[in-house]
Amino acid sequence: MGMTLAEKILARASGRATVTPDQVVVARVDLALSHENADLVRKSFKEIGVARVWDPDKIVIILDHRVPAESEKTATTHKAIREFVREQGIRNFYDVGRGGICHQVLAENGHVQPGMVVVGTDSHTTTHGAFGAFAAGIGATEMAGVWTEGELWFKTPATMRIEVDGEFAEWVSAKDLILYIIGQLGADGADYRAVEFDGPAIRRLSVASRMVLANLSMEMGAKVAFTPVEEIAPDPGAHYERVIRIDATREVAEPQIACPHAVDNVKPLSALGNVPVEQAVLGSCTNGRLEDFEIAARILAGCRVHQRTRLIVIPASQRIYLEAMRLGYIQTMVEAGAMVNPPGCGPCVGVHQGILAAGEACVSSTNRNFLGRMGSKDSRVYLASPAVVAASAVAGRIAHPAEVTA
């Protein structure tokens, strides 16, 4: 019997001919990613008592959650990481002003290749399945073990396959598709599963859009997620626990919105009614890329952000920031009334650069809308596509892009 992508990669990494679902294997790690929580990993690593990391060239550390440092505590954390990086000879370190959000920086700098085992101390490490990697989030103590030995045990996940056909309507994107899928399957619908996305509609998507699917798959519990790449593919005859088929033309006919306070609380935009918003956020490891800024700038051109609403724009990396400036996207958004934050996670994690006050509502292109996620526990976050975020900033309420571009 053939193997799925997850099975093929874990078989290679564990030195086995084959693996099967639920089989526990010890796999060699090809890349280990951390951000500010590298300081927690560092402390656990020191407790183990090993002097040197297993391979400094396979460790990547990127400061992105609180950049630049907003407090003395954060500055102290950053300093400790910098000192550890120098002490260990870790060359792949992206400091403030030199990178951006970890998942974008890994992709831009070619750190991830098809067939690799990638682990990261960030839950959205699943993003790198868009490049054919078995990419999973792990905890800080687990990462300390990886830094020590260069390997980690995994229970081989069963695999779900999601095949998508049809055409996306105007203003409907990969973000709408994955929100629809999460809404259908639920927050635990792919719990500790591998997810393979494929089908004609998926293969027409850009790499940036495929990253959106892999990124948000963990919000339905996925351990890893994959979109098609040429270099590696599942075997013919691979066994899938479940195959789901979606007609994008019929089932995702309009933008989808994840309503407070759960990512699987998804409704079509037309079902929302009048939802005023005090803030709109365009950015994050989900939707802070160039194609997201292009569509937002197209909607915002010649418009003004509503007087009740703040629009915060956050490039996913320095490279995207520069290119968006060169192409005029940043100028268009600033002229419309947007504020541009430095590349990083910003308000997505509720600690920096645009958190919400009690009673405020935000429409955001980020990946989580949990209670208190972006600030006050009395605020509300609605997740949407970049197009809906831009349109809503102009309308002052959650709005379909067609309303402001007609």
Q: What is the 3-state secondary structure (H, E, C) of 273-309?
A: CCCECCEEEECHHHHCCHHHHHHHHHHHCCCCCCCCC
> Could you read off the pLDDT tens digit of each residue along the chain, which spans 406 residues?
799 999 999 999 999 999 999 999 999 999 999 999 999 999 999 999 999 999 999 999 999 999 999 999 999 999 999 999 999 999 999 999 999 999 999 999 999 999 999 999 999 999 999 999 999 999 999 999 999 999 999 999 999 999 999 999 999 999 999 999 999 999 999 999 999 999 999 999 999 999 999 999 999 999 999 999 999 999 999 999 999 999 999 999 999 999 999 999 999 999 999 999 999 999 999 999 999 999 999 999 999 999 999 999 999 999 999 999 999 999 999 999 999 999 999 999 888 899 999 999 999 999 999 999 999 999 999 999 999 999 999 999 999 999 999 7
Per-residue model confidence as pLDDT tens digits over 173-205:
999 999 999 999 999 999 999 999 999 999 999
Same domain, 199 and 169: yes
302: how many CB neighbours lie within 10 A of its CB? 9
124 located within any domain: yes
Burial 211-221 (b: 16+ CB within 10 A, else e): bbbbbbbbbbb
Same domain, 266 and 381: yes
7 located within any domain: no
9 located within any domain: no
50 located within any domain: yes
- Decide which of 230, 251, 272 is a domain's last residue: 251
Global pTM? 0.95
Cβ atoms 401, 171 nearer than 8 A: yes
90 located within any domain: yes
Q: Which two tokens stand for residue 365?
A: 């292109």
226 located within any domain: yes
Q: What is the CATH number of the domain that holds 200?
A: 3.40.1060.10
Residue 8 vs residues 13, 107, 244: alpha-carbon distances, Å: 9, 22, 21
Same domain, 42 and 89: yes
Query: How many Å apart are CA 163 and CA 347, to the nearest integer?
Result: 33
According to DSSP, the residues that pair with 338 across neighbouring strands are 311
Please tell me the predicted confidence (pLDDT) of residue 352.
Answer: 85
Kind and range of the H or E run holding 197: strand 194-198
According to DSSP, the residues that pair with 161 across neighbouring strands are 196, 243
Same domain, 244 and 265: no
Q: What is the CATH number of the domain that holds 96?
A: 3.30.499.10
Same domain, 385 and 330: yes
- Decide which of 201, 226, 251 is a domain's last residue: 251
76 located within any domain: yes
Cβ atoms 6, 160 nearer than 8 A: no
Supply the range of the domain harboring residue 202. 159-251
Same domain, 232 and 132: no
Q: Where are the beta strands (DSSP E) in 320-406?
A: 338-340, 361-364, 380-383
Number of structural domains (the chain) is 3
Q: What are phi and psi of 269, to 5 degrees?
A: -55, -40
Please tell me the predicted confidence (pLDDT) of residue 358.
Answer: 97
Same domain, 100 and 238: no
Per-residue model confidence as pLDDT tens digits over 288-341:
999 999 999 999 999 999 999 999 999 999 999 999 999 999 999 999 999 999
Same domain, 380 and 304: yes
- Decide which of 251, 282, 310 is a domain's last residue: 251
Same domain, 126 and 57: yes
5 located within any domain: no
Same domain, 151 and 171: no
Same domain, 385 and 283: yes
Same domain, 135 and 84: yes
Residue 213 vs residues 125, 232, 318, 378: alpha-carbon distances, Å: 12, 18, 23, 29
